[in-house]
Structure 1
Amino acid sequence: MQIVSFLSTQGRRMRYAALPFICGAVIAGLAIPTLTIAQSGKNDAVYRQLGLFGDIFQRVRESYVDEVDDKDLVEAAINGMLTSLDPHSSFLNNDHFSDMQVQTKGKFGGLGIEITMEDGVIKIVSPIDDTPAAEAGLQPEDLIIAVNDEPIRGMTLSDAVDRLRGEVGSSVTVTIKRGAKDPFDVTLKRDTIKIRSVRAKMFDGIGYLRITTFSEQTTPGLTKEVDKMFREHGQDLKGFILDLRNNPGGLLNEAISVSDAFLEKGEIVSTRGRRAENASRAYARPGDIANGLPLVVLINSGSASASEIVAGALKDHRRAVLLGTRSFGKGSVQTVIPVSGNSAMRLTTARYYTPSGVSIQATGISPDIEVALARIETLDGGDTREEDLKGALDNAKDGKEGEPANAEKPDVTPATDQSKIDYQLARALDLIRGVSIFTDVKSGS
């Protein structure tokens, strides 16, 4: 909403700025006819096109096989104009505008997926944690080609969203195309999506922070969890992992705030639009909630928009090591502009640039360390050492008998320990442990 207000202010400035130009043109004399004729010709072409629209609108009202609602026709025409610009611009009628306002507050109804339109089908940017979509195993880059056996191709993004939404508790079947595999159906039960935007765990002195989306609760939740870790573990903390995998983005100001939380100074992100005077830059203020401890950021192809702003800022300032796979590449700014009738338009107004001046759009953020998504599994056999050999000598210590060489040792790792099955997370933990050991050795020398 701050951007909207800023644009409105600029519009007022432009209207006032036009007055001296007109006065100057009167003095110049000869400049008036050329400018007026060119402007008049441009306006005439616009009026002719609007007249064409009016003719077609009237013909549809009179001749279409079924009676159509005028309001629906106009909204469809507006949405068609906006969606022809790019996949992220669209018209938000009363219901959709209300849904969007609720979503940014962190609670809404649906399946729990962030989607975009690609080549006429719906592409999943990422499922949201603990939602029907995540529990059903939907993955980033899955394509939804049909909803309840109705093909998506030919629909607008808003039409597809309407078919995916419904009453809480009702079911919907989506047809998924995943890579080169044959399409398959997944039936989901719609639910109220309550987003807990920040989740935290401790892994052997390393703080794990997962941000699932950037809503109004994100920065307060992040600060609360980090403060709690310092209170409970203090000097034993070795570093932090910030998990932005499958995070579809959210509010720009929250992305800036999260980046600022880990940075002491410097630019966080810049936005550049059609006019140079509308460019903006955001800068960090002093203060690092992690107290300078090592930081690893996990990203993947489901990390989009606001996630990429955070990853790009922390990478460019060398505050964090990025680990995982290249991010989604959504580097455009959408401004939600309210219009008459409690509706709004979501319009792409600028592009994001990282502190080093690199555009995120369609390129994404590349990790410092490329680690593909994989699952850790225990193989039969495992490692064989001296103590595993039949008849191996015991390690008698201080004159006492040791345990039998091949005695079975209890498994002290809980079966639900994510770090033992998530390969990317395991590598991030190893990285921080390595940095911590190196730092301890260096400080002790």
Structure 2
Amino acid sequence: MRPYRLLNISCVVLLIAALVFPFTSFGGADSQIPKYEPKTASYRDIQLLANALSMVQMASREDVDKRAFLYSALDGMAKALDRYSYFVPPGMAGVFMNSMRDRYIGIGIDIARTDDGNIEVVSTVPGGPASKAGLRPKDIIVSIDGKQITKMKFIEALKLLSDIGFSVGSKVRLSVRHKDTDNLLDFTVTRDFIQLKTIEWRILDSHYGYVRLTGFYKDTVTDFKKAIYEMEAKAPALKGLLIDLRNNPGGDAESSFELSRMFLNPGTIVSFESNFPGYNVKIAANGEPTYKRPVVIIVNEGSASASELFSGAMQFNNRAKLIGRRTYGKNAVQNFVPISDDAGLYLTIGHFFLPGGVSIEGKGLIPDLPIDQNTGEEELLSKAIQLIKKCE
């Protein structure tokens, strides 16, 4: 399970270093935020924090861990930035890193904190335990194993769902509220080994390639090109391509940009505006596209982050039509910033914008052909093929 599969800021970092995110080469968890000397907090501000911390610690009971007050203050600072940011206390960095793996033991969901402090499901792994149990994107998790979400920090919820100590077959109890309902539903979900398959492909209606991407990783574009090659070898008369990004929570943004370049003529893919002054950059397609047939992209409310950037760049550049349901709505970029040997802050460091400066934060992408949630798979694919035929 992942904390909202966040744009990998490596890309921007490397781009900035080169002239200039994770999202970063745009690539990995080892990427660093741009080197920037922040304004030093004033002595009075530091003294205010120190005085408050000292008074609260003195007023606390003897059996209370005094550091808990400092950690709460640090978490409060991070949360004041936005809903995606949080403090990773000592001993919890391993939980955070485990949640970002593409193979792990868990229930197969991505989560994020909402503006009002709840924790919601961003996406579920297709065929994973959570998906099979009936959890959906935008579900609000009310409690985990009887513990109320509103009383715990985000990293604590992450630990209950993705700690490395869990074993296959162990169970977790979730109380969940579906979107736009007040009814609580109880689920008992059995953890399993989750292996994220990046790409699946097949031929539809003899003439249309179908590729499902479940995430964006360093090898995604290589695997995508291989899928195209194998489909064309099997069906040389392919007339178009369906790309299925439903429940794709994102990942490595650079991979999404590289994939965009396969389809786009020279021009802007996205622009990045950093919270650190002087590190704004435009990401562009510069060469001739290698794939020129019509494209339709299938999306839903579980399509988030890097998958939205790819879909949005394709839609805004009039290179693809979108079908499905409105996407999640996230273009904020986070990175893990160490502040000691065993603690750090997971902070929003900037935002991506689609061509024309369009933000999808909290709004998502609106499909060219909206599809009702109750539409069956066969009907959806049939409508997608009809749409792509109109683009031929």
The TM-score, its normalising length taken from structure 2, stands at: 0.83
Q: Which residue does 1:18 correspond to in 2?
A: none
**Contact 1:374–1:424, Cα closer than 8 Å, also in 2:** no
Deviations 1:116-152 (A, max 9, x none): 1222322111111122111212111111111112221
The structural deviation recorded for 1:103 is 5.2
Q: Which residue does 1:121 correspond to in 2?
A: 118
Q: Which residue does 2:365 correspond to in 1?
A: 365
**CA distance in structure 2 between the partners assigned to 1:76 and 1:190 by the alignment:** 30
Deviations 1:151-175 (A, max 9, x none): 2122221121122234122100101
**CA distance in structure 1 between the partners assigned to 2:94 and 2:136 by the alignment:** 27
TM-aligned CA distance change 1:324 to 1:268, over 3 Å? same
1:261 counterpart = 2:273: no
Deviations 1:393-421 (A, max 9, x none): xxxxxxxxxxxxxxxxxxxxxxxxx5x2x
Q: Which residue does 1:11 correspond to in 2?
A: 36
Task: Specify the code of the residue in structure 2 equivalent to 1:233.
Answer: A
TM-aligned CA distance change 1:267 to 1:112, over 3 Å? same
Q: What is the 5 A alignment of 1:128-277?
A: 128-166=125-163, 167-169=166-168, 170-178=170-178, 179-180=180-181, 182-204=183-205, 205-234=207-236, 236-274=237-275, 277=278
**CA distance in structure 2 between the partners assigned to 1:370 and 1:288 by the alignment:** 28
**CA distance in structure 2 between the partners assigned to 1:47 and 1:300 by the alignment:** 45
1:91 counterpart = 2:87: yes
**CA distance in structure 1 between the partners assigned to 2:315 and 2:11 by the alignment:** 27
Residue 153 of structure 1 aligns to a residue whose secondary structure is helix
**CA distance in structure 1 between the partners assigned to 2:109 and 2:145 by the alignment:** 17
Residue 348 of structure 1 aligns to a residue whose secondary structure is strand
**CA distance in structure 2 between the partners assigned to 1:334 and 1:261 by the alignment:** 26
Residue 363 of structure 2 aligns to a residue whose secondary structure is coil
**Contact 1:99–1:108, Cα closer than 8 Å, also in 2:** no
Q: Which residue does 1:347 correspond to in 2?
A: 347
TM-aligned CA distance change 1:160 to 1:101, over 3 Å? closer
Which of 380, 386, 389 is the matching residue for 1:430?
Answer: 386
The TM-score, its normalising length taken from structure 1, stands at: 0.74
TM-aligned CA distance change 1:54 to 1:105, over 3 Å? closer
The structural deviation recorded for 1:48 is 2.7
Residue 11 of structure 1 aligns to a residue whose secondary structure is coil
**CA distance in structure 2 between the partners assigned to 1:181 and 1:229 by the alignment:** 46
Deviations 1:45-103 (A, max 9, x none): 3133222243145326xx32634263x55444322321232111122346654455455
**CA distance in structure 2 between the partners assigned to 1:56 and 1:130 by the alignment:** 51
TM-aligned CA distance change 1:47 to 1:67, over 3 Å? closer
TM-aligned CA distance change 1:217 to 1:53, over 3 Å? farther
1:109 counterpart = 2:105: yes
Q: Which residue does 1:328 correspond to in 2?
A: 328
**Contact 2:98–2:162, Cα closer than 8 Å, also in 1:** no
**CA distance in structure 2 between the partners assigned to 1:342 and 1:3 by the alignment:** 25
Higher strand share: 2
The structural deviation recorded for 1:274 is 3.5
TM-aligned CA distance change 1:211 to 1:103, over 3 Å? farther
| Residues 237-246 or 176-185, more deviating | 176-185
The structural deviation recorded for 1:294 is 0.7
Residue 288 of structure 1 aligns to a residue whose secondary structure is coil
**Contact 1:120–1:154, Cα closer than 8 Å, also in 2:** no
Residue 150 of structure 2 aligns to a residue whose secondary structure is coil
The structural deviation recorded for 1:355 is 1.4
Task: Specify the code of the residue in structure 2 equivalent to 1:212.
Answer: T
Q: Structure 1: 5+ residue runs without aligned partners? A: 16-38, 377-417, 437-445
**CA distance in structure 1 between the partners assigned to 2:367 and 2:34 by the alignment:** 39
Deviations 1:214-235 (A, max 9, x none): 222322221221121122222x
TM-aligned CA distance change 1:206 to 1:329, over 3 Å? same
**Contact 1:336–1:345, Cα closer than 8 Å, also in 2:** yes
**CA distance in structure 2 between the partners assigned to 1:333 and 1:431 by the alignment:** 33
The structure showing larger relative contact order (alpha-carbon pairs under 8 Å, at least 6 residues apart) is: 2
Deviations 1:180-216 (A, max 9, x none): 2521111111223211111112112211111111222
**CA distance in structure 1 between the partners assigned to 2:252 and 2:89 by the alignment:** 20
Q: Structure 2: 5+ residue runs without aligned partners? A: 1-9, 18-31
**CA distance in structure 1 between the partners assigned to 2:329 and 2:196 by the alignment:** 23
Q: Which residue does 2:316 correspond to in 1?
A: 316
Q: Which residue does 2:24 correspond to in 1?
A: none
**Contact 1:270–1:281, Cα closer than 8 Å, also in 2:** yes
Which structure has the bigger radius of gyration? 1
Q: What RMSD in Å do the two structures reach over aligned CA positions?
A: 2.6
**CA distance in structure 2 between the partners assigned to 1:212 and 1:43 by the alignment:** 46
Task: Specify the code of the residue in structure 2 equivalent to 1:218.
Answer: T
Task: Specify the code of the residue in structure 2 equivalent to 1:142.
Answer: D
Deviations 1:372-396 (A, max 9, x none): 22234xxxxxxxxxxxxxxxxxxxx
The structural deviation recorded for 1:287 is 4.3
The structural deviation recorded for 1:285 is 3.6
**Contact 1:114–1:248, Cα closer than 8 Å, also in 2:** yes
The structural deviation recorded for 1:105 is 5.1
Task: Specify the code of the residue in structure 2 equivalent to 1:207.
Answer: G
| Residues 217-226 or 137-146, more deviating | 217-226
Percentage of pairs with the same residue: 29
Q: Which residue does 1:51 correspond to in 2?
A: 50
**CA distance in structure 2 between the partners assigned to 1:352 and 1:429 by the alignment:** 31
Task: Specify the code of the residue in structure 1 equivalent to 2:278.
Answer: E
Aligned length: 361
Task: Specify the code of the residue in structure 2 equivalent to 1:141.
Answer: K
